[in-house]
Amino acid sequence: MGILIGDRIILREYREDDLPYMRKWVNDPNIIKNLSNIFLYPHTLNETENFLNAILEGTSNIKGFVIAHKDTEEYIGQIDLVKVDWINRIGTLGIVIGNQEKLGKGYGTEAIKLLQDFAFNRLNLHKLELEVRDYNERAIRCYKKCGFKEEGRIRENHFINGKYTDTLCMGILKREYETLKD
């Protein structure tokens, strides 16, 4: 099942030629301000290559897909299960659209829906969860559109632009996902 096919995108395997696309966003302050603190410091070419090589070699715990144009297979972003708890059947989702011009066009929503189908119907996960900064309103709208619900809030745990902000914990259960499809 290497490729998941949507209306406008596919979720495909990582490739060596994705590196230049990854390098374009990995240090872009407008993209990384919404991501985890691992992007606090600039990422070197070597670090990005090491991440990609670990995925390609299968030595990374992160399992996921490149979000790509359906017709050209050109890189748009990434959607990954950054962690899977196989005992409790919970996957932690991470997503990035790596080009500002592609934001707000529905690629993230389509990618999440494809990954939800894969996670719930192929991997038999019980729940998908994620964390999102409270100021990332575009992402929050997308997640809610995909059925995620706010499960909690970690207060003032992220410092950015001179102030502390909250992190929202969101999740969707398999049974909630199944009611969305009806």
Output the pTM of the full model: 0.94
Per-residue pLDDT reduced to its tens digit, 124-146: 999 999 999 999 999 999 999 99
Q: Give the number of domains in the chain.
A: 1
AA identity, residue 36: S
Task: Please report which confidence band the pLDDT of residue 182 belongs to, taking 50, 70 and 90 as the band edges.
Answer: low
The answer on pLDDT for 107 being more than 80 is yes
- Ramachandran angles phi, psi of 169, nearest 5°: -100, 125
| CATH code for position 110 | 3.40.630.30
**Owner of token pair 């972003």:** 77
Q: Which domain holds residue 143?
A: 4-181
**Owner of token pair 């559109």:** 145
Residues forming a β-bridge with 133: 167
Per-residue pLDDT reduced to its tens digit, 1-18: 479 999 999 999 999 999
DSSP annotation of 8 reads S
Per-residue pLDDT reduced to its tens digit, 63-81: 999 999 999 999 999 999 9
d(CA 106, CA 49): 28
When computed from its CA atoms, the radius of gyration of the chain, rounded to whole angstroms, is: 16
